[in-house]
Amino acid sequence: MKQYEIRTHVNVLNWEEMDASERELIQRAKQATESSYSPYSHFQVGAALRLQDGEIIVGSNQENAAYPVGCCAERTALFWCGANRPDVHITHIAIAAQTQGHFTPSPIAPCGMCRQALLEVEQRQGTSIKVLLYGENGTHSID
């Protein structure tokens, strides 16, 4: 029998506890919610990726009439990077969500498909991606 232990350390940070680059990334994720096409769920999600060279790539969720078929903000940004910047590592991802004109009080986590996509990007590039989940009441930071 093999046994594995998996631990996740989550830091809950307020705005002042984050460095300027993390705040900038979260701001870009929040701005990305504005380009969401979500006429069915009315749940706007934005993601911002920081690449190893400092470039920031954003994505937002895109729905269609075959709801819930669509693409999440995280995968929109990840797949753009895979298609356009495949040789540049992703160091961070920030995710924010809003509904009815208000950002969520608590952070939202990526869905299972997005978690799998993030894992495979980490495996491909050989380095981990720091995750920042924004909520009005605090940001969860996961290394």
Q: What is the pLDDT of residue 68?
A: 82
CA-based end-to-end distance of the chain: 29
With tokens 């895109």, the residue in question is 62
> Per-residue pLDDT tens for 51-109?
999 999 999 999 999 988 899 999 999 999 999 999 999 999 999 999 999 999 999 99
pLDDT digits (tens, 9 = 90+) for 123-143: 999 999 999 999 999 999 998
Question: Which positions are catalytic?
Answer: 74
- What predicted TM-score, i.e. pTM, was given to this entire model? 0.94
Alpha helices in the chain (DSSP H): 20-32, 73-84, 112-125
| Alpha-carbon separation of residue 42 from 61, 63, 76, 83, 98 (angstroms) | 11, 10, 18, 28, 9
Question: Could you tell me which residues are beta bridge partners of residue 59?
Answer: 47
